[in-house]
Amino acid sequence: MKINKNNLVNALNSSSFPVLAASLVHMTRDINILDRLPQPQTAMLGEVQGYFTNDQKQQVLDIALPIVETYLSNESANNFYIPNEEDLKRMMSYVVGSEVSDQYIPMMLEDINLLSKPLTPKPKRSNSHNANNFSILIVGAGMSGILMGIKLLDLGIPVQIYEKNNDVGGTWFENTYPGCRVDIANHFYSYSFEENNQWTQYFSEQPELQDYFRQCFLKYNLNDITHFNQEVTSMTFSDDVNMWSVTSSCDEQPRVEEFNLVISCIGQLNQPKLPDIKGLDLFEGEIFHSARWPKDFHLDGKKVAVIGSGASAFQIVPSIADQCSELKVFQRSPPWMFPNQDYHRKVNAEKKWLLANLPGYSRWYRFLLFWPGSDQLLDSLFVDPAWKGGDLAINESNEQMRQVFTQAMLSQITDLSLIDKVIPKYPPFGKRMLQDNGAWLQALQKTNVALVTDPINEITSVGINTNDQIDEFDVIILATGFKAQEFFSSIHIDGGTGAYHEIYGDAPESYLGITCNTLPNFFMTYGPGTNLAHAGSIIFNSECQVKYICTAIEHMLEHNLRSIRVKEEVLREYQVNLEARLDQMVWQHPKVSSWYQNAQGKVVTTSPWRLVEYWEWTNNFKPSDYEL
């Protein structure tokens, strides 16, 4: 490779220096080079430089530059070197500036995908005769549906996908509102086996995210097995033949088919939740949910109301504030925000070059993003029964975070009347933590923007009534979230004992968030109790779930089994442990009200488990847990 030295120096100066150090091991084939380099401090969210001083960065650069030049100019020596497992462990601990315990090594090695042989055996390719006589339906072609399809086809298992929309992407197809973007770092928010070194932003916007999933969909030939505009409306299981009878519709034409097994990949965030406000249907202007944003809709010069101040509103309001003649945000409770200056930042060309050209760089960068956002935070989210510091925190660590986040917010506020409205009065992490680069509070302090915290009495034909005063609007945007607690409320799923939604209502149950005793021959991804509010990426959880489901299906095909149902006692033990753990967490705090909870205030959507626990459980399918 022909290299311009000045360009190379610029690129290396743009690197994450701990990650660059790990890449040098691959280039030199010498683990001891790490001894010549400064040692990073403990990795924290958003800090990818190991807290190196400028002198330490220069020290790394001086050593790295000639090594990288030699490596790139000697194409015959560019066979990718994979250190042994012990050296990989040492590299992990170096990159994150602290010892990575043995329990986490297998999980992290699998995710960074550097081993020549996987630590956990891949499921065997299916017995072709049994597989060809076993029909599987995946419902949904979003992130997890695409993943499920890729892995089943890789095993040689025939499968069909029904998608209600006319394109792939799921939530990244349906949510097209201004400012819509991911709030997990993009170089981690991607399939572990399908990295993208060309992300244009650190936290990419909706079009780029949907395009990523569409490219994966096409690359793995899922178009041939996918039926678009095919909405599943009901399914019923017959114990007599061990088959699901699935009713769907396309262009209002009903269709009934039978499948041996169904996998739901519709997730938690697919049914918009409308607020329980009197007069919602009376408004004569434009009114819509944020997940149903009208195509080519313009707000220029209009009076606009946004109801809600959660994740969607947090992205919408800064994006539309300058377009509106007047914008009012109606807030029930304010969000906590994590300072993050990368939130809207673009990825420069040098960063893309490093990811694409330095050996191992992209994988170690992913690891550095993953590790501090894995289980490092979880202990601080448990309520300390001995805590005496007031009800705005749950333990000493949580109180320290509250003070840091509060000061970060106060530093952005010049309109002192906002302080009481925007500083939360509940513990940090009690609700979804949002990413703060200053855009939210800056928008709220614009002269044409107002934050309203008075309760809404009703919506009238012309606007919103609070305190018997009507504010008139042209547009009302409902940024009010989703029916995350009401699993399968849009599909009548009857496993033989009644419809799932009617049995459980807003207190859904499942084993590992993957299956349920009332639903034989049925699996799900992103099920109850698997939303991640403390760590990781939902894609990580989906990969765990998909691996488990594939192993279960492989077991069925290998032994020519026609039925699988988790045992009631297995489900009950898991559910009891899940609820007991959740009762100890910040999300259950009496000052917190969020979409993690149902109407009774019980958390039903969110996982309290360490990622490594969940990874181990889903890596170990136990036939003894099932009625087969």
Please give the pLDDT value at position 373: 86
Please give the pLDDT value at position 76: 60
User: Pick from 526, 504, 531: which is nearest to 605 by CA?
Assistant: 531
Please give the pLDDT value at position 126: 60
Q: Note whether residue 398 is domain-resident.
A: yes
**Three state DSSP letters for 245-279:** EEEEEECCEEEEEEECEEEECCCCCCCECCCCCCC
Q: What does the DSSP assignment read for 429-477?
A: TSSPPEEESSHHHHHHTSTTEEEE-SPP-EE-SSEEEETTEEEE-SEEE
Report the alpha-carbon distance of residue 474 to residue 286 in Å, rounded.
6
- pLDDT bracket for residue 3 (50, 70, 90): confident
Q: Is the pLDDT of residue 122 over 90?
A: no
348 phi, psi to nearest 5 deg: -80, 170
- Range 110-119 average pLDDT: 74
- Of 2-11, 327-336, 399-408, which gets the smallest average pLDDT? 2-11
Q: Is the pLDDT of residue 118 over 60?
A: no
Q: Note whether residue 438 is domain-resident.
A: yes
Q: Which amino acid is at 257?
A: E
Please give the pLDDT value at position 4: 86
Please give the pLDDT value at position 129: 64
- pLDDT bracket for residue 535 (50, 70, 90): confident
- Of 130-134, 218-222, 459-463, 470-474, which gets the smallest average pLDDT? 130-134
Do both 542 and 607 map to the same domain? Answer: yes
Provide the CATH number for the domain around residue 267: 3.50.50.60
Please give the pLDDT value at position 46: 87
Domain boundary among 455, 478, 501: 478
Do both 577 and 546 map to the same domain? Answer: yes
Do both 496 and 610 map to the same domain? Answer: yes
Provide the CATH number for the domain around residue 453: 3.50.50
538 phi, psi to nearest 5 deg: -60, -25
Do both 395 and 493 map to the same domain? Answer: no
How much of the chain, in percent, has pLDDT values that exceed 90? 92
Report the alpha-carbon distance of residue 505 to residue 208 in Å, rounded.
36
395 phi, psi to nearest 5 deg: -170, 175
Tokens coding 29: 């084939």
Query: pLDDT tens digits for 32-62?
Result: 999 999 999 999 988 999 999 999 999 999 9
Please give the pLDDT value at position 429: 98
What's the Cα-to-Cα distance from 579 to each of 66, 209, 488, 502, rounded to whole Å? 56, 34, 21, 21
Do both 465 and 329 map to the same domain? Answer: yes
Residue 443 sits in which domain range?
286-336+384-478
Q: Note whether residue 345 is domain-resident.
A: no
Do both 156 and 222 map to the same domain? Answer: yes
Which residues 6+ apart lie within 8 Å of 331 measured at CB?
308, 309, 421, 451, 452, 453
- Range 497-502 average pLDDT: 94
Question: For the chain, what is the domain count?
Answer: 3
E-state strands within 251-353: 253-259, 261-264, 286-289, 303-307, 326-330, 337-339
Q: Give the pairing type, strands 226-227 and 160-162.
A: parallel
Do both 465 and 491 map to the same domain? Answer: no
Query: pLDDT tens digits for 362-400?
Result: 999 999 999 998 999 999 999 999 999 999 999 999 999
- Range 300-306 average pLDDT: 98
Please give the pLDDT value at position 482: 96
Report the alpha-carbon distance of residue 488 to residue 266 in Å, rounded.
9
Q: Is the pLDDT of residue 415 over 60?
A: yes
Q: Is the pLDDT of residue 121 over 60?
A: no
Query: 207: helix, coil or strand?
Result: helix
Q: Note whether residue 343 is domain-resident.
A: no
- pLDDT bracket for residue 125 (50, 70, 90): low
Q: Give the pairing type, strands 243-250 and 253-259.
A: antiparallel
Q: Select the more confidently predicted residue: 500 or 2.
A: 500
Do both 140 and 227 map to the same domain? Answer: yes
User: Pick from 68, 39, 66: which is nearest to 51 by CA?
Assistant: 39
Query: pLDDT tens digits for 547-573?
Result: 999 999 999 999 999 999 999 999 999
Q: Is the pLDDT of residue 595 over 70?
A: yes
- pLDDT bracket for residue 77 (50, 70, 90): low
Please give the pLDDT value at position 130: 77
Query: pLDDT tens digits for 157-209?
Result: 999 999 999 999 999 999 999 999 999 999 999 999 999 999 999 999 999 99
Do both 267 and 313 map to the same domain? Answer: no
The sign one gets for the Cα dihedral 374, 616, 579, 607 is: positive
- pLDDT bracket for residue 120 (50, 70, 90): low
User: Pick from 523, 522, 555, 549: which is nearest to 127 by CA?
Assistant: 555
CB burial readout 379-394, b (16+ within 10 A) else e: ebbbbbeeeeeeebbb
Q: Is the pLDDT of residue 124 over 90?
A: no
Please give the pLDDT value at position 123: 61
| pTM for the predicted model, two decimal places | 0.96
- pLDDT bracket for residue 608 (50, 70, 90): very high
Do both 236 and 177 map to the same domain? Answer: yes
- Range 255-284 average pLDDT: 96
Tokens coding 212: 């990523």
Q: Is the pLDDT of residue 213 over 60?
A: yes
Please give the pLDDT value at position 66: 96
Q: Select the more confidently predicted residue: 242 or 79.
A: 242
Please give the pLDDT value at position 227: 97
Please give the pLDDT value at position 586: 98
Q: Note whether residue 68 is domain-resident.
A: yes
Do both 541 and 469 map to the same domain? Answer: no
Report the alpha-carbon distance of residue 397 to residue 58 in Å, rounded.
34
- pLDDT bracket for residue 80 (50, 70, 90): confident
Q: Note whether residue 119 is domain-resident.
A: no
Do both 474 and 494 map to the same domain? Answer: no
- Of 114-128, 329-343, 488-502, which gets the smallest average pLDDT? 114-128
Q: Note whether residue 280 is domain-resident.
A: no
Please give the pLDDT value at position 277: 97
Domain boundary among 449, 478, 507: 478
Domain boundary among 457, 478, 499: 478
Please give the pLDDT value at position 207: 98
Q: Note whether residue 278 is domain-resident.
A: no
Contact between 108 and 114 (Cβ < 8 Å)? no
The rounded mean pLDDT for the chain is: 95
